[in-house]
Amino acid sequence: MQIDQPRRTRVLLAALGALLVPLGALSACGAPAGPASSGAAGATTPDGRSAHGDAGTAGADTDAGAGAAAGPGARTGTGAYPDRIPGVGARMSRRIPVGSRQAVVVYGEGRNSPRATLVLYTRHGDAWRRADGWAAHNGRDGWTTDHRMGDERSPVGVFTLSDAGGALPDPGARLPYGQDGGAYAIPREWGPSRRHDFDYVIAIDYNRVRGTPPHDPRRPEGAAKGGGIWLHLDHGSGTSACVGVPRAAMRYLLRTLDPARHPVVVMGDKAELGA
């Protein structure tokens, strides 16, 4: 049967598209590529506060999913990687970019638990060494590999750490830091126990635009995926999705995490981390 010229052109274009799409649709880790993470217009800031101001970006975990901290130096396939961080299995280890020399690991006690331990590791050659650790809290309902706004669970994954800020002046942070008493003000209805949650914060690059203040509200993957997920001061119990750590730990992390060392956070319940 003879095919007219316009139809022949459409057929050829469709066949070419079928060949090209799979090549461009994969990220460095082999998962569907997607915009990076944390922050969202019309959504909320950490722990359900109405978001005002700028946004943030970094990959969400969808395999958790598109979450591994993708970018320059990210691993491809199942290539060799340095000695593993204690308690972090092959799947998560492969998601840590080759260039990363600092990893904040949040070991959740259990899938439905808000209790966790946060440990900072630094890489020397191919070996990860423990620098310090603290008790912490994650989402009040635990962890999830498919975080949604309002689910009260922290997202499992590997995410870059790019930006910081808070209600208090810069304590000597190496990450870009912006003080903004208004943007990090605590709603009165939260009560006195949470008055200092946002004195210092470090944005976790989940569904946000990197290179912007932690309070930036944009959500590249849409508001339904949540955002505004931060490391912030602990108030002694679970959060809406953030990770709460003691004041001394936050000040230490701000003064230690170095953009030149490409810090990441590796976070999840112990079973997911060890897989």
pLDDT in tens, 95-147: 999 999 999 999 999 999 999 999 999 999 989 999 999 999 999 999 999 99
- How far apart CA 40 and CA 218 sit, in angstroms, is 4
What global pTM score does this model have?
A: 0.73
Take residue 200 and report the two structure tokens written for it. Answer: 């210092």
E-state strands within the chain: 44-45, 49-50, 102-108, 115-124, 127-137, 143-144, 154-155, 157-166, 177-179, 201-204, 230-233, 243-245, 264-269
What pLDDT is recorded for position 218? 97
pLDDT at 20: 31
What contacts 135, CB < 8 A, 6 or more positions away? 115, 116, 117, 118, 234, 246
Query: What pLDDT score does 188 carry?
Result: 84
Q: What percent of the chain clears pLDDT 70, i.e. is strictly above it?
A: 70
Residue 264 in this model has a pLDDT that exceeds 50: yes
Whole-number pLDDT of residue 186: 86
Select from 182, 203, 216, 209 the least CA-distant residue to 53: 216
> Confidence class of residue 273 from pLDDT cuts 50, 70 and 90?
very high
